[in-house]
Each structure stands twice: as structure tokens, then as C-alpha cells.
Amino acid sequence: MTHLSHQFADLDEVTLHYVTAGSGFPVVLLHGIPQTSHEWRYVIPHLAKHYRVIAPDLRGLGDSSRPAGGYDKKTVSNDVWQLLATLGISDFYLVGHDWGGPTAFSLAAQHRDAVRKLAILDVAIPGDGADFSQNGRRWHHSFFRTPDLPEALFQDREHLIINWLFENYGYRPNCISEEDRKEYLRTYVKPGAMRAMYSFYRELPRDAEDNHAMLQKDGKLRMPVLALGGAKGFGRGMETFESLQRVAEDVRGGLIPDSGHWVTEEQPEFIANALLNFFAEN
């Protein structure tokens, strides 16, 4: 049984809750939406046998604090950078799923020597040069970015949208258990949590501009990159791999079998093995 240690770090603008396990070279895991660090619970035991694992709740989400602003991914990733500095970590492997992916990309683009290897799971990178606006399964992006309306519609009904996402974007409707949905909902019903969630989406245009500017200035990422997408996802398929090819030079990856979007919970052993193999490569 892997022991998970729950800790808090008081940073400049935010207090981050994070989970740690294992020892060795650091591996940082960044979660997606509407999830928290809880999404890594099945992957961490595999990684912790070989590495020191750090999995924070991102700004505004989980059991981290909820500032009014700062949800552009340069700022969110800087929270993670500050956390690692408090832990004395100067170089590491980095993994991001869903919104954790663009956060991880921003961190890697800003600190290219520190991020030894980067893995991105089932998400495209804003500002990679592609146009994803015609993907109808991503309707919620525009909806969440609409000022005030989602707050009004889902006040005291947060479970409706969270359950809908879990039931419709996995390969199987029941891929996230009732118990785990309750754990996610516990944090998303906290005051300010849904506002923070929408803010991740509302900053998407700025994220695209920031990423484009970093790529223009410093070129594509040069560290090894693993890009994996759910084979049964909502129209993504190879989109993750293709997106990372546009922003990084050394990309490998492909599809996660029998998985929709919630890849760390639908196929945790596949993800863990893929990461361990990737980290072990010279």
C-alpha cells in the first residue's frame, strides 16, 4: 500500500494542497477539470516505486486556495514552479492531463532546462497553430467562457455539469465511480471553485497568445515529449500527438486503448507503464 502524504505550501498568491509519495528523481503530475490531484490515485503507486511523485491541486481547484484571478496558464504554472522551489526541486519529469497539459506545456516552455521530459495526456496545446473551433463536442469551452451565465445556471446544481462531463466524455458512462464523483464534487461545491474552473477556460485566448509568443521567441520544445490521447475520446484521437508535434521537436506517443478522456482513471495501468517506459528511455 503506497503511503500518500497530503501537505500544503503557502506561496506568493496561493496556498497549494499537494500529494507526495515515493522517493528518487521527481515526477510532477498536473490534473485536469473537473478533477483534482485525486485523479492520479491509481497511477501514483506505480510511479512511487521508482520516483518521488508530487501531485498538486492547481490554483482555485481541489483543496488549494481560490484567488480571484491568475488563471492564465503562465501564472498557474508559476504556482507549480514556486511549489517545487520550496521543495528544493530544480529539475524533474512533468506530466499533465486535460488543463494540466497546457499548464505543463507553459511550465516546460518557461523552464526548458528544468523539465527533463514532458508527457501530455488527451489535450491539445492552445496556440499550436491549429483551429479546433469546429469540434462540436467541445461546446462547453465557449459556454464556460460566457460571462456570468454558467455561474447562474449551476449555482447549487454543480453536480449536473460535473456528472454530465464524466458520463459523456469517458469511454463508458460509469467509468468514474459514484464515490469518486462525490470526492470531486466535495471540492467543486466550495465557494469560488466553479468560478475558478470557468476561469481556466476564460483565459484560453490569453493562453494561446502566450504560448505563440514563447514559441516565436524560443522555438519548439526540445526535451523528449510523450503525447497520448484516448482512442475512444470525443473526437480527439491523435489530436494530442499532432498538437505536440507542432510545438515540440522530439515527440512520440499515440493512442490509449479503450479509453475516453478520463485516461488516468479509465486506463491507469496503461498510463503508468507508458510513463515508466518513457522515463526510463535514454
Active-site residue flag, 98:
yes
Q: Which three cell numbers stand for residue 228?
A: 497520448
Q: How far apart are CA 74 and CA 6, in angstroms?
A: 25
Active-site residue flag, 79:
no
Please report, for residues 52, 75, 86, 178, 215, the alpha-carbon distance to residue 79 in angstroms, rounded to integers and kept in the order given: 19, 6, 11, 31, 21
Looking at residue 232, its amino acid is: K
> Which is the catalytic residue, given 17, 38, 111, 261?
261
> Which is the catalytic residue, given 46, 201, 207, 210?
201
Active-site residue flag, 201:
yes
> Which is the catalytic residue, given 57, 63, 79, 98?
98
How many CB atoms within 10 Å of residue 278? 19
CB 220 within 8 A of CB 127: no
Active site positions, annotated: 98, 201, 261
